[in-house]
Amino acid sequence: MEFESNCSLIKNAANSAAWSAKLPQGLDLEVSCHPITMRHIANLIIAMERLKGGKGVTMGTEFKDKDLLNFLLESAVEEHIVLELESAPPASRKAAVFSSTSQYEYSVTDSENKSWVLMKEAMELHSMMLQGGSSYHKVHLNLSTYVTPVPIETEARPVALGIKGSNLYLSCSTSGGRPTLHLEEVVDKEQLKSISQQSDMVRFLFYRRTTGVDISTLESARFRNWFISTAMQQDNTKTVDMCQKAAPSRLTTFTIQRHN
C-alpha cells in the first residue's frame, strides 16, 4: 500500500526500509512530495487502525471501497445547522389603513337624555338637559364610517366625529398623564379620508359598538378601553370627556340617531 505526503520526512530508500521493517507483513511505506488527497488521508487512517488491531478493518495488502465507505461513515460526525429566521420587526410590517366610506348626520344623547352642547370659547363639549326653545344649542355630528382591508374589530366600526357646521373634530390624546377628549380644528379634511393605524391621526378615530336600537359606546381607537362619557345628572361636572368603562358616576352609552 502506498501513502503520500507533501513533505518528504524520509529522504532516502534506506530510511523507508527502516520504517517498512516495523510494519506488519505485506505492508510497505513510501513517502513522496505529491499533494495530499482525501483518499490518501483515509488510507493512512485505515493503516493506523490496522497497526492498532482495529476491528472492522480488512487485513491484507489491499482494502475495498466498501471498507473505506464503512470506515468513513463510522467516523463521520453529524452536525445540524439550524438557521433561525427572525420575525420581521413591527416597523417593517405594513400597517392597517382606515379608509372613509360614508358620512351622515347624527344626533347624540346620553342615557339620561342629556344632549351635547358646544362651548366654543372653551373648546369643549358639555352635556346638559335642553328644553323648549334651547334645543337649537344641541350639537349634531357628521359621523364618518371607516373600513380596513382586514377588520381589526369584528363587533365595532371605526368612526370619526365632526361637529356639523364647523371644522372641529373630536380627538383623544393624553393630557396630564391620562387620555382626554379634545376638539381640534381640521382645515384639510382630505387627510381624514385615509388614516394609518400607526399614524398620529388615529387620535381622531373611535370604535362605535352598537347594541339594541341606536344604543352605542364610543371607544378610543388610540387608547383602548377608554370611552367618551358624560357625568351623571347629580354631578356638577358637565364636560364630555374620556373614562374607563367601569368608572363610577360616568355614562358611556349614547343614543346615536341618524338624520335622513
Three-class SS state of 146: strand
Q: What confidence score (pLDDT) does residue 68 get? A: 59
Gap between the Cα atoms of 244 and 85, Å rounded: 40
Gap between the Cα atoms of 107 and 139, Å rounded: 7
Average pLDDT over residues 178-207: 96
Residue range 80-130, pLDDT digits in tens: 555 444 444 444 456 789 999 999 999 999 999 999 999 999 999 999 999
Beta pairing partners, 163: 141
Q: 72 or 226: which carries more pLDDT confidence?
A: 226
The answer for residues whose C-beta is within 8 angstroms of residue 64's C-beta and 6 or more apart is 58
- The C-alpha cell that represents 10 in the structure block: 524520509
| CATH architecture label of 97-258 | Trefoil (2.80)
Average pLDDT over residues 205-231: 94
User: Angle between the 38-52 and 65-75 helix axes, to the nearest 10 degrees?
Assistant: 80
Residue range 131-153, pLDDT digits in tens: 877 888 999 999 999 998 777 77
Q: 182 or 73: which carries more pLDDT confidence?
A: 182
pLDDT at 183 over 50: yes
- The C-alpha cell that represents 170 in the structure block: 373630536
What's phi and psi for 170, nearest 5 deg?
Answer: -75, 140
Q: 248 or 61: which carries more pLDDT confidence?
A: 248
Nearest alpha carbon to residue 164 among 96, 118, 196, 123: 118
Average pLDDT over residues 246-250: 86
> For the chain, what are the domain ranges?
97-258
CB 198 within 8 A of CB 214: no
Average pLDDT over residues 204-214: 92
Predicted confidence band of residue 45 (pLDDT cuts 50, 70, 90): confident
